[in-house]
A and B are shown apart, each in its own frame.
Chain A
Amino acid sequence: EVQLVESGGGLVQPGGSLRLSCAASGFTFSSYSMNWVRQAPGKGLEWISYISSSSTNIYYADSVNGRFTISRDTAKNSLYLQMNSLRAEDTAVYYCARDDQYESVEVIDYWGQGTLVTVSS
């Protein structure tokens, strides 16, 4: 069974930093690309970052580019999101999500339960 468990969320002041982690199990982590997707309270879903299986390809949404850094540790079956210069508008539940190829197209197919990040003074 695919399991993705996020951790590291919490309350942080504007301008501060936070590092999210995602522990993966139930599949061969090193073979899959991964994503972070967030959801502001009461709002829709926003994709924010992607990392390929080998970490060769990394992409960010414009809203976080230059402030957030995605990374992965295959030995620990873990995905990370380093978030710097946090703003109030970064307040959201952050989901770790697996990416697979379905008929040669990238599809986000499994999601963790999310971790809440609140940016407030």
Chain B
Amino acid sequence: EIVLTQSPGTLSLSPGERATLSCRASQSVSASYLAWYQQKRGQAPRLLIYGASSRATGIPDRFSGSGSGTDFTLTISRLEPEDFAVYYCQQFGSSPLFTFGPGTKVDIK
């Protein structure tokens, strides 16, 4: 089973700053199988990025994803007030079918 680790656990930033979130896999993952989700307090998760770097429908271009192998990154170029949330990486595998990382909370400094 592939284990995903996210860092940092919490990222304290101000609006307008750049956020860089890391997701590391315990073994190599195909970039095609890596996705990122945003979850605001009290809401369901929302798909941001699939295939490590493709933005989902309606996602602003300030969100970008990159990476390969075991190291993946979600970057928010300039934080907007609505971007303060928890972000999860996820990989599509075999058993279990989907695995999520523990999440990174982006909060207001």
Binding site for B on A (CB under 8 A): 35, 37, 44-47, 50, 59, 61-62, 95, 102-114
Partner of A113, one of B44, B99, B101: B44
Given A102-B50, A105-B50, A113-B44, CB of A45 within 8 Å of CB of B100: yes
Across-interface contacts of B56 in A (CB, < 8 A)? 109
Q: Describe A's contact surface by its main secondary structure.
A: strand
In this complex, how many residues of chain B approach chain A with their Cβ under 8 Å: the count is 26
A111, B46: Cβ atoms closer than 8 Å: yes
Alpha-carbon distance A104/B56, docked complex (angstroms): 15
Alpha-carbon distance A37/B88, docked complex (angstroms): 13
Alpha-carbon distance A47/B102, docked complex (angstroms): 13
Since A44-B102, A110-B47, A114-B44 are in contact, a sample of 5 more A-B pairs with Cβ atoms closer than 8 Å, ordered by chain A residue number, is A105-B92, A106-B98, A108-B47, A109-B47, A113-B43
Please report which residues of chain B, range 29-56, place their CB below 8 angstroms from some CB of chain A when the two chains form the complex. 32-33, 35, 37, 39, 43-47, 50-51, 54, 56
| A-contact 0/1 string along B41-83, CB 8 Å cutoff | 0011111001100101000000000000000000000000000
Partner of B100, one of A44, A62, A103, A111: A44
By beta carbon, the residue of chain A nearest B56 is A109
